Structures are given as structure tokens and as C-alpha cells.
Amino acid sequence: MTQFEVGERDFVLDGRPVRLLSGALHYFRVHEAQWDHRLAMLRAMGLNCVETYVPWNLHEPRPGEFKDPEALGRFLDAVQGAGLWAIVRPGPYICAEWENGGLPQWLTGPLGRRVRTRDAAYLRAVDAWFARLLPQVVARQCTAASGPGGPGGGPGGGPVIMVQAENEYGSYGSDGVYLAHLVERLRALGVR
């Protein structure tokens, strides 16, 4: 199992400072058959990490109707196979120049400005989405006790080195209770 920490001045991987050089590759914008090639290109550029968003509206086009959210897990397996670390950005809002910032229309239509706040209906939907999506991320964290090992070659674990809660929130709102809820929910689901 790999140990990853945010130190006072550096990221620390297994007790040593590590410099993460990351590029974005959105798995949902690249045909799955091309993932290995694109990841190899990132690695050839000298990067050791890739970050990706997760578009909720793509994977849950209607309430409770899921469309291949396991694609994220397959992408993270490809990331590991390429010898890269991963930063996962599940939102719920992602921006990414993606329709509605990745938020499902079935949710934003009725809720309007109540999205991205502590609104109970919004949080119930987010909690359900995270519960469906995050087991794939948790199982592939570098700190997981099982798995084929992270890019560093250590025993167990996977490529996920960080998970971002929300995106570009400071320019949108300032609901600290909402942000705390997201972080608590991620942790409750096993994100470390």
C-alpha cells in the first residue's frame, strides 16, 4: 500500500517528496480504444499524472438510469497500466466546457439556483450519484490495501492519488456547509 500525504511544502509519497506533473485527459471525450495511446502520449511528454472529470449528466441521463459509469473504472485501470497516477474530479459540477457543467438537466431544471448549495433535494441526488460512482474510485486509490499496485510499483493500491470535491466553486458560491457535506460524503464513501 502506498502512503500519500500533503506535506507542508511538498506532496509526499512513501515518505519522499514527489512532484506531480499532470495533464488532463477526459475519458468521456476519447474513444475507449484510444485511451492507451493517449495515455502513452501523456507519459511521453514527461508527465507522471493524469486528471479527469466525471460528467454526471452523461452517466445518469435520467434519475436512477445509469449509463456505463464503470467507464471511469476502466479508464483508471488504463491509467495504471500506463504507469501514471490519477487525479479524479467527480464534481458534482465539473465545468469542463461540458453541457450544464456535467449536472443533469433532470435535476437543474426543477431546482434552478438551488443546485450547488446545501439544498436537501440537491444533496440527496448528489449523495445517490456519489454512492453509485465512488466505489470504482475507492477501489483504485493508491492507499487501497488490495490491487495490482500503483505506478510506483509498490504492492496493492491503484493509480488514484487525489480526488477533488466540486470545481471552480469560489467563483460561483460560498456555501461552506455544502462544501463540507461533499467532503464528508467523499470520506464516508472511502475516499482518503
pLDDT digits (tens, 9 = 90+) for 11-39: 999 999 999 999 999 999 999 999 999 99
The CATH number assigned to the domain holding 164 equals 3.20.20.80
**pLDDT, averaged across the chain:** 93
Range of the domain at 60: 23-188
- Number of structural domains found in the chain: 1
At residue 143, what is the residue type? T
What is the pLDDT, as a whole number, of residue 171?
79
Cα–Cα distance for residue pair 72/52, rounded to 1 Å: 9
Is 6 within a domain?
A: no
Is 178 within a domain?
A: yes
Is 13 within a domain?
A: no
Mean pLDDT of the region 97-103: 97
Whether 154 shows a pLDDT value over 70: the answer reads no
**Residue ranges of the alpha helices (H) in the chain?**
35-44, 56-59, 71-81, 105-111, 120-138, 176-188
Contacts of 119 (CB under 8 A, 6+ apart): 111
Cα–Cα distance for residue pair 142/124, rounded to 1 Å: 28
Is 128 within a domain?
A: yes
What is the pLDDT, as a whole number, of residue 173?
83
Is 38 within a domain?
A: yes
Is 7 within a domain?
A: no
Cβ atoms of 130 and 120 within 8 Å: the answer is no
Whether a cis peptide bond, with omega within 30° of 0, leads into 17 is no
Strand, helix or coil at 192?
coil
At residue 39, what is the residue type? L
At residue 88, what is the residue type? V
| pLDDT single digits (tens) 38-78 | 999 999 999 999 999 999 999 999 999 999 999 999 999 99
Task: State the Rg of the chain over Cα.
Answer: 17
pLDDT band at 165 (very low <50, low <70, confident <90, very high): very high
Pairing between strand 22-24 and 4-6? unpaired
Is 118 within a domain?
A: yes
What is the pLDDT, as a whole number, of residue 147?
53
Is 180 within a domain?
A: yes
Task: Kindly report the length of the chain.
Answer: 192
Pairing between strand 11-13 and 85-89? unpaired
pLDDT band at 170 (very low <50, low <70, confident <90, very high): confident
Mean pLDDT of the region 135-159: 75
